[in-house]
Every structure is written in C-alpha cells, then in structure tokens.
Amino acid sequence: MKVDLNLDQVLSDLDAATALDALQNIIERLRDAFGIDHMVYHWVDSGGEQYGCGTYSQAWVQRYIEQSYLRVDPVITGCLQRFHPVDWKRLDWSSKAARAFLRDALEHGVGNQGYSIPIRGPNGQFALFTISHDCDDETWAEFTCLRGRDLILIAHYFNRKALEFEPARKPEQCSALSPREVDTMTLLAMGYNRAQVAETLSISEHTLRVYIESARYKLGALNTTHAIARAMSRGLIVV
C-alpha cells in the first residue's frame, strides 16, 4: 500500500472544517491517500446521539442497522474495554454471532483486516476511528506499524473537530496541566519513547515519571495512553 499523504494539509483542512459534512469529504481523501479500502469515523455524543462518516457501502451500513449488529460487533464491544488502538485479529470472534457477523461483513466488502482507535472525549463522549482493507497479515502488520502514529493523530483531530459541532456542548472541568506536563504529554503523543522525552526535556527519567503520573492524575486517566487521549480530546495538547 503506497501512501500519498500531506499530513499537515489534512490537519489544516480538518481545522478549517465548518460543518460535519466536510468530514465526509476529508475521510474519502484520506482513504485514497492511504491506499486502503475503507476508513470510518463514528461517534456518540453525551446525549446519546450518533454521527458517522466513512466509506463503507450504503448497503453494508443499512444491513448493519437492520441486523442490530451493534450488539454483537466484536469491534464495538472490544474497543469499549480498551484505550489502545487494536487490530481486529486480537478481538474475540469465537461466538457464533460474531462469526456470522464477520461472514456478512466480508461479503459486503469490509475487508479481512481492520484497525480501530477508541477515543473518549468530554462528558462521556465515545468514538471509534477505523480503517479496513483486504490483504495478507504481513502486509497489514507492516502498514499499521508504519502508519499507526499518523492514524492516531488523525483520529483525535477528527474527534476534536466533531466535538465542536456537538449541540450545547459544555466544557469539561479538569485541572490545568503545568507547562512541563504539557511538554511531556505532547512529546509522548508524537510517538517519542520515555528515554527520548527525557533527553529532549533535559530531565531524568525519574523526573519524567513524576510529570507523567501527575498529568495522569489530573486527567483522571487509567494509564499514559488514556492520559494522552484525554489531553488531546480536551485541547490541552496539540500535536
């Protein structure tokens, strides 16, 4: 899969979007730029309203709704329990209902490979950013390893933009991060490992751990990845 992507331009276009409809155009461009079959963003706001944009066929979207697949889809149930991006092959497809769902999805062109990024925003908002494709395991593993950081960044930019359009959105109260905590979370979000972050900030790894744990506590996060996601979704860091 050849990637033809100007990430800065995509993020600028997302920032400039003024309506939800603009996200559909951007996600189609991204799908083509990444050279994959499908890309989907789906969110549930604090009032339970749902919105989605993506490249699945209308036939599959309608089929999914008619069959109430939301109740048995391992991607949904699995990502509700996770904060890290997840390859679909790591999910539980063992039940009869899940296997039937998978067969139906394949027949509708969803693809035999998938990768989903769960996102949790303010006031109980939950979203998924998903890509899928039809290829062998080795090709898919190489692609997600190479492009995972870009996909996480794009997912959170999509969510941040979508939240701007949520009716009557109320700001979520949280403790402000210190400048050093912002620097730490930003570099981690960019994909730096802890040693690289410590070196960049000219601090010890012990001091870095203090900053990370302090930021995690302020954000009410379960782990570092969750803290980064919350900081991004609340606009406390921008990558």
Q: Which pLDDT belongs to residue 138?
A: 96
Given the candidates 3.30.70.580, 1.10.3720.10, 1.10.10.10, 1.20.1740.10, the CATH classification of the domain at 179-233 is 1.10.10.10
Domain boundaries, the chain: 7-164, 179-233
- pLDDT value at position 46? 55
pLDDT in tens, 51-110: 789 999 999 999 998 998 988 999 998 998 887 899 999 999 999 999 999 999 999 999
Other Cβ atoms within 10 Å of 50 Cβ, number = 10
The per-residue pLDDT for 96 is: 96
What does the DSSP 8-state code read for residue 3?
-
Confidence category of residue 1, pLDDT binned at 50, 70, 90:
low
For the chain, percent of residues with pLDDT exceeding 70? 89
- pLDDT-derived band at 239 (thresholds 50, 70, 90) equals low
Q: In whole angstroms, give the CA distance from residue 136 to residue 94.
A: 21
Q: Quick check: helix, strand or coil at residue 114? A: strand
pLDDT at position 232: 83
pLDDT at 141: 96
| Position 131 pLDDT exceeds 90 | yes
CA dihedral 200, 206, 212, 215 (to 10 degrees): -110
> Confidence class of residue 168 from pLDDT cuts 50, 70 and 90?
low
193's tokens = 């490992």
pLDDT tens digits, 189-214: 888 999 999 999 999 998 999 899 88
Kindly report the average pLDDT of the chain as a whole number: 86
**Residue 39: phi, psi to the nearest 5?**
-145, 135
Residue 92 and residue 154: Cα distance in Å, rounded? Answer: 26
Per-position b or e across 61-94, b if 16+ CB within 10 A of its CB: eebbeeeebeebbbbbebbeeebebbebeebeee
What average pLDDT does this structure show over 118-126? 74
The per-residue pLDDT for range 156-167, each reduced to its tens digit, is: 888 878 877 765
Answer whether residue 134 shows pLDDT above 60: yes
**Measured between alpha carbons, how far is 80 from 127 in angstroms, rounded to an integer?**
9
- The 3-state DSSP class for residue 36 equals coil
* H helix and E strand count, the chain: 10, 5
Is the model's pLDDT at 48 over the cut of 60? no
> Which structure tokens are listed for 113?
């490979």
Instruction: Give 41's pLDDT tier (boundaries 50, 70, 90).
Output: very high
pTM greater than the 0.75 cutoff: no
Q: Pick the more confident residue, 110 or 229.
A: 110
7-164, CATH topology level: Beta-Lactamase (3.30.450)
